[in-house]
């Protein structure tokens, strides 16, 4: 068999970020204001704060102006809703992102539903999810959009191919299934999840296998068709006393076990992860351009 190709998500993400930077620069050269993103961070969850710093830095590099609005973790739901409404009404703000998770006393659903769908660069609002499902132009959440971009740039054919998505979350599994089965993309899609029986019989049929179930090393060689494209969405912390921080990041795929069986495979880290910020930037530019109004 020909050698497995490891898909370099960092390189693809960098290429997308460069394209966005060029498009932003053209947009500004036409006399338009720089795209503007508002990022709302509630509390000081260390992982969230770190994601938000990453989004800030990448925005600056792409010529996207971002402002981070930090609020105390005790902010009331009503006060946070007011902030969202203020950002909705602010003509200078193109995109709004409320970093999740939110504190327990705040309903994430109520906050997401309050965001103007035309500014919903996360693609979490039900209007955008619904539009995606019926094939209308919509903001698509960053992780599934990033996976489609990786598949496309790796030259992986989808038309008439069997795609199996393991995981049914609202932000990855379900929107990804919708994208893969979209008219024009034309994959045949099966969605499996934690309760699926004899799951390996289904995954073994996959030409494209996407693991987004949140269990380290869940996908093993016996679950993979020879030559399949294997996309790993998992970011799981696994205890590792040999690391200074005490853990390492592991995907949902047992990479070493699957490597020689797959035709293409994404590593963790350095696969799907880096794509998310790149797609957020692209969504922010689209918001500025009024793409989904
Ligand atoms: N928390 C972890 N990932 C994300 C994301 O993509 N968007 C938001 N808003 N919060 C997150």
pLDDT above 70 as % of the chain: 99
* Beta bridge partners of residue 247, listed in sequence order: 239
Judge whether 93 and 87 are in contact, CB under 8 Å.
Answer: yes
Are 152 and 36 members of one domain?
no
Catalytic: 261?
no
> What CATH number has the domain bearing residue 250?
3.40.50.720
In a domain, 280, yes or no: no
- Ligand 1 atom 8 nearest Cα: 99
Averaged pLDDT, 255-266 = 98
Element (DSSP H or E) covering residue 13: helix 9-29
As a whole number, mean pLDDT of residues 161-178 equals 98
Q: What is the pTM of this model?
A: 0.96
The whole domain housing 64 covers 31-119
Q: Is 289 one of the annotated active-site residues of the chain?
A: no
Which pLDDT belongs to residue 71? 98
**pLDDT exceeds cutoff 90 at 4:** no
Stretch 214-240: mean pLDDT: 97
How many distinct structural domains can be found in the chain? 2
pLDDT digits (tens, 9 = 90+) for 68-112: 999 999 999 999 999 999 999 999 999 999 999 999 999 999 999
Query: Would you call 225 a catalytic residue per the annotation?
Result: no
The pLDDT assigned to 283 comes to: 98
The mean pLDDT value for 34-61 works out to: 96
C-beta 98 within 6 A of ligand 1: yes
Please, which residues have CB within 8 angstroms of residue 148's CB and are 6 or more apart in sequence?
176, 179, 180, 185
127 assigned to some structural domain: no
Is a pLDDT exceeding 70 seen at residue 55? yes
- Ligand 1 pocket residue status of 97, Cβ below 6 Å: yes
**64 plus 181 within the same structural domain:** no
pLDDT band at 1 (very low <50, low <70, confident <90, very high): low
Query: Taking 60 as the threshold, does the pLDDT of residue 180 lie above it?
Result: yes
Q: Is residue 67 assigned to a domain?
A: yes
Q: What is the mean pLDDT of the chain?
A: 97
Give the Cβ contact number of residue 124 at 10 Å.
Answer: 23
In a domain, 237, yes or no: yes
Residue 41 is classified by DSSP as E
Contact 5, 11 (CB under 8 A): no
CATH at 97:
3.40.50.10860
The average pLDDT across 167-191 equals: 98
pLDDT the model gives residue 3: 85
Report yes or no: 167 and 218 within 8 Å, Cβ to Cβ: no
Q: What is the mean pLDDT of residues 21-37?
A: 98
Residue 25 lies in a domain: no
Q: How is residue 158 written in tokens? A: 């989808």
Would the CB of 142 count as within 6 Å of ligand 1? yes
In whole angstroms, give the CA distance from residue 142 to residue 171: 9
């Amino acid at each position: 068999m020909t050698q497995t190709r490891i898909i370099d998500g960092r390189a693809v993400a960098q290429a997308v970020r460069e394209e966005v930077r060029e498009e932003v620069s053209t947009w500004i050269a036409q006399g338009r204001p720089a795209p503007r993103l508002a990022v709302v961070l509630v509390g000081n969850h260390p992982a969230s704060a770190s994601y938000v710093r990453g989004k800030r830095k990448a925005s600056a590099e792409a010529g996207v102006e971002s402002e981070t609005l930090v609020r105390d973790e005790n902010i009331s739901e009503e006060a946070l809703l007011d902030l969202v409404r203020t950002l909705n009404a602010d003509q200078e703000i193109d995109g709004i992102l409320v970093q999740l998770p939110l504190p327990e006393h705040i309903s994430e659903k109520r906050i997401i539903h309050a965001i103007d769908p035309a500014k919903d660069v996360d693609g979490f609002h039900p209007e955008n999810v619904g539009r995606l499902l019926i094939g209308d132009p919509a903001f698509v959440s960053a992780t599934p959009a990033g996976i489609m971009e990786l598949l496309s740039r790796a030259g992986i054919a989808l038309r008439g191919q069997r795609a199996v998505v393991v995981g049914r979350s609202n932000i990855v599994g379900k929107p990804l299934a919708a994208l893969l089965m979209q008219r024009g993309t034309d994959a045949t899609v099966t969605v499996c999840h934690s309760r699926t029986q004899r799951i390996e019989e289904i995954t073994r049929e996959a030409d494209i296998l996407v693991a987004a179930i949140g269990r380290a090393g869940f996908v093993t060689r016996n679950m993979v068709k020879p030559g399949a494209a294997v996309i790993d969405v998992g970011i799981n912390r696994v205890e590792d006393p040999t690391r200074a921080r005490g853990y390492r990041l592991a995907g949902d795929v047992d990479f070493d076990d699957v490597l020689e069986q797959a035709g293409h495979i994404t590593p963790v880290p350095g696969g799907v992860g880096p794509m998310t910020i790149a797609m957020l930037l692209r969504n922010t530019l689209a918001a500025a351009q009024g793409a989904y109004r």
